[in-house]
Amino acid sequence: MKRLFSIFIFTTLTLSLFAQAKKPTIMVVPSDQYCISRGYKMEFESMGATQTLPDYKAAMQNDADLRLVITKMGQIMADRGFPLKDLEMELRNLEREAAESAMLMSSTSGSEMAESPVDALKRTAKADIIMDLSFDIKRMGPERYISFNLRGLDSYTSKQVSGAAGAGKPSSAASPELLLEEAVLSHMDGFNAGLQSHFDDMFAKGREVKINIRRFASFYDNLESYYTDESTGEELELLEHIENWFFDNTVEGRFSLSDASENQMRLEQVRIPMMETDSRGRERAVDTRRFLSGLSRYLRTTFGIDSKIYVRGLGEAWLIVGEK
Amino acid sequence: MFINPKNHYNTMKTLSYFSLVLVFLFAMGEATNAQNRFSRRERKAHYSSDYNYDVQIMGVGQDGTKVMKVSGHGKRVEDAVIEAKMNAVASVIFKGIPGGHGAATTPPILKDSNAGDKHAEYFETFFSPGGKYLQFITMTTDGMPSGQDRLKMKKGYKVFIYAQVMYDALRKQLENDGIARSLDSGF
């Protein structure tokens, strides 16, 4: 018995020691300005207006300078323990995945894979943090210099979490490739320091995410309907019950309800904990889906309302009440 | 020319009053200046402070390195050069290097301004004579600095040397020793 107890304690300790928070993925993406100004763009008509979008595939296939900069940045980030997601590879994989999913079928019945239009729509290149990059080789008399601009953007909160920008030293002797390499080497330490501050803040105050609460049109009530929580005896609007749940479950009650109506609630700057202990006593990393499943359970057990969780990424999810 | 003795007396009296006021103002000014001046002990503390050194980046170094010009104080030039080498490594760890010469600002490896005190024992060994800090300097102007890079002070010398510090290797060493936090720690 004593031995069993020791093994249990050891296993629990090991599990908690090896528990790690969800690591954000990072990808370098050339900025819209960079792509469009160099002609890597797609133009199409939409409702009578011409829309211009960057063509990343064309940029990656034709721009040697861009590839050089991305390679150098990837090398530095991998050295810091954050291998970057490669945009070119990701685009290629998505194409292959789409082709394979269209062809794949069951060997027994010949059934195709189930895929909703939303599943197909979600098949895009994405990362949790985008390194939005633009640079320019400029001239000043006989000398050339690099103007460099790198922004670290949180894909979900749209906040700039780090940045580095500036102009390099003009030179008439150095090749543009060497100047570009210099620009990357010069700015990456500052950029990573900003990223480190962002992660420190995340571990101290929780991960900042965005959550939308919506309702299915088929739901017989709305977010302003009154419900009674039997455990507290409070009769409040469903919206207020949800707000109270957020207050109880976010880190230090940090969140802001930026918009609310009978059909939706938009919650921003929601600080969710990085780790939690699950029902089996294990330390587990928390992402927005896992966090929202707690709210979904609360709505079902307390008010008998079903809900569906729709994940948009590590830092954004929607909870649609009324149905599964 | 006739000078009225009475007028002359009045003029003299006015002048003497005016001189007195000037002397008073001058004395007040001196007293104020004296308050801004540092005592000999304060000046000594200022010069012997561990934080008192100049550092300037000299351009973008090779992969993972920083090239800088850094100062050191010492009674002899040799001592000042040794201190400058220590300062080069210390600046990268604690102070960071301001941008210039086409290079962006380099942030310090340890962001906490009290990190030196928190890990005093570690850094005592790290910066001991012939200590591990030397492993992270790959190039210095080891010859005697001359001209503007060698300033004779009241007691000793202030010298400037050019040093190349292996920034990435130093950061990794501090991360492995548990002094600095790595970018991916916790994930």
Same domain, A210 and A199: no
Mean pLDDT of A23-40: 93
pLDDT at A201: 92
Same domain, A74 and A55: yes
The answer for residues whose C-beta is within 8 angstroms of residue A30's C-beta and 6 or more apart is: A40, A54, A56, A59, A63, A66, A133, A134
* Cα angle B51-B57-B58, degrees, rounded to a multiple of 5: 140
Q: Is residue A155 part of a domain?
A: yes
Domain ranges of chain B: 5-37, 50-176
The ipTM is: 0.76
Q: Do A164 and B59 touch (CB under 8 A)?
A: no
The share of chain A scoring above pLDDT 70, in percent, equals 94
Alpha helices for chain A (secondary structure H) = 2-18, 32-37, 56-62, 64-79, 87-103, 117-121, 176-205, 238-249, 288-303
- Chain A nearest-CA distance from B187, in A, is 5
pLDDT at A6: 55
Q: Which residues of A touch B61 (CB under 8 A)?
A: 185
pLDDT at A245: 96
Q: Which residues of A touch B60 (CB under 8 A)?
A: 168-169, 182, 185-186
Same domain, A237 and A141: no
Residue B174's identity, in one-letter code, is L
Same domain, A154 and A229: no
Same domain, A221 and A168: no
pLDDT at B6: 63
Q: Do B104 and A81 touch (CB under 8 A)?
A: no
Q: Is residue A10 part of a domain?
A: no
Dump pLDDT digits (tens) for A74-130.
999 999 989 999 999 998 998 888 888 888 888 888 888 887 777 776 777 788 899
Same domain, A31 and A136: yes
pLDDT at A264: 94
Dump pLDDT digits (tens) for A189-227.
999 999 999 999 999 999 999 999 999 999 989 999 999
Residue A48's identity, in one-letter code, is G
Same domain, A128 and A224: no
- To test the contact with chain B by mutation, choose from A16, A144, A186, A195 the residue with the greatest count of B C-beta atoms within 10 A, namely A186
Q: Is residue A293 part of a domain?
A: yes
Mean pLDDT of A232-238: 91
Domain range for A130 is: 26-89+118-203
User: Which is more confident, A169 or A5?
Assistant: A169
Looking at A203, A222, A250, the residue that finishes a domain is: A203
Positions in chain B whose pLDDT score sits under 50: none
- Chain A nearest-CA distance from B48, in A, is 31
Looking at A203, A225, A245, the residue that finishes a domain is: A203
The answer for residues whose C-beta is within 8 angstroms of residue A284's C-beta and 6 or more apart is: A19, A275, A276, A277, A278, A290
Looking at A167, A182, A203, the residue that finishes a domain is: A203
Cβ burial of A254 (10 Å; 0-12, 13-18, 19+) is: middle
Dump pLDDT digits (tens) for A239-293.
999 999 999 999 999 999 999 999 999 999 999 998 888 888 888 888 899 999 9
Same domain, A191 and A70: yes
Distance CA A81, CA B147 (A): 45
Q: Is residue A81 part of a domain?
A: yes
pLDDT at A12: 45
Same domain, A215 and A259: yes
Nearest CA among B89, B67, B64 for reference residue B169:
B64
Same domain, A230 and A245: yes
Same domain, A245 and A293: yes
Nearest CA among B36, B38, B18, B15 for reference residue B26:
B18
Q: Which CATH number fits the domain that encloses residue A129?
A: 3.40.50
Q: What is the mean pLDDT of chain A?
A: 88
| Domain count across chain A | 2
Same domain, A166 and A266: no
For every residue of chain B, DSSP letters joined together read ----HHHHHHHHHHHHHHHHHHHHHHHHHHHHHHHHSPPHHHHHHHHH-TT---EEEEEE-STT-EEEEEEEEESSHHHHHHHHHHHHHHIIIII-B--BTTBPPBPPS---TTHHHHTHHHHHHHTSTT-GGGGGEEEE--SPP-GGGEEEETTEEEEEEEEEE-HHHHHHHHHHTTSS--TTTT-
For chain B, say whether A20 makes contact (Cβ under 8 Å): yes
Q: Do A20 and B59 touch (CB under 8 A)?
A: no
